[in-house]
Amino acid sequence: QSALTQPASVSGSPGQSITISCTGTSSDVGGYNYVSWYQQHPGKAPKLIIFDVSKRPSGVSDRFSGSRSGNTASLTISGLQAEDETNYYCSSYTSSSPVVFGGGTKLTVL
């Protein structure tokens, strides 16, 4: 079971938009509408911010949005704020197991 591929780090300035990619295969990201994204602050449990590729749980800011093209899913954060600086993980359902995570991306707000 291979982890999904995310960039190790991304950065942006306050107010800008950034995108984090999550690349898999047709057996996971590209094959099912079950991609999720999590935000994790240090020392805390992850928080679900996107599910089913592009849906937001209740209470999650609409600055967070998800999309997918082929085998690559993306998380876009618009209007970057200092509080967005932390780690982000993608996850997908796969043909062989219900959950596989990406390696994680550290977002730095410059």
Nearest to 56 by CA among 39, 41, 69: 39
CA angle 50, 9, 94 (to 5 degrees): 45
Residue from 12, 24, 66, 102 in contact with another protein (CB under 8 A): 102
Which residue number, 14 or 103, has a Cβ lying nearer to another protein?
A: 103
Contact in structure between 87 and 104 (CB atoms under 8 Å)? yes
Which residue number, 51 or 64, has a Cβ lying nearer to another protein?
A: 51
Contact in structure between 29 and 35 (CB atoms under 8 Å)? yes
Phi, psi dihedrals of residue 76, rounded to the nearest 5°:
-110, 130
Binders in 55-84 for another protein, by CB under 8 A: 57
Q: Which stretch binds another protein (CB under 8 A): 15-23, 61-69, 70-78, 91-99?
A: 91-99
Query: What does the block give as tokens for 19?
Result: 């995108």
Q: Which stretch binds another protein (CB under 8 A): 9-17, 19-27, 40-48, 72-80?
A: 40-48
Interface with another protein (CB under 8 A): 1, 3, 32, 34, 36, 38, 40, 45-46, 48, 51-52, 57, 89, 91-93, 96-104
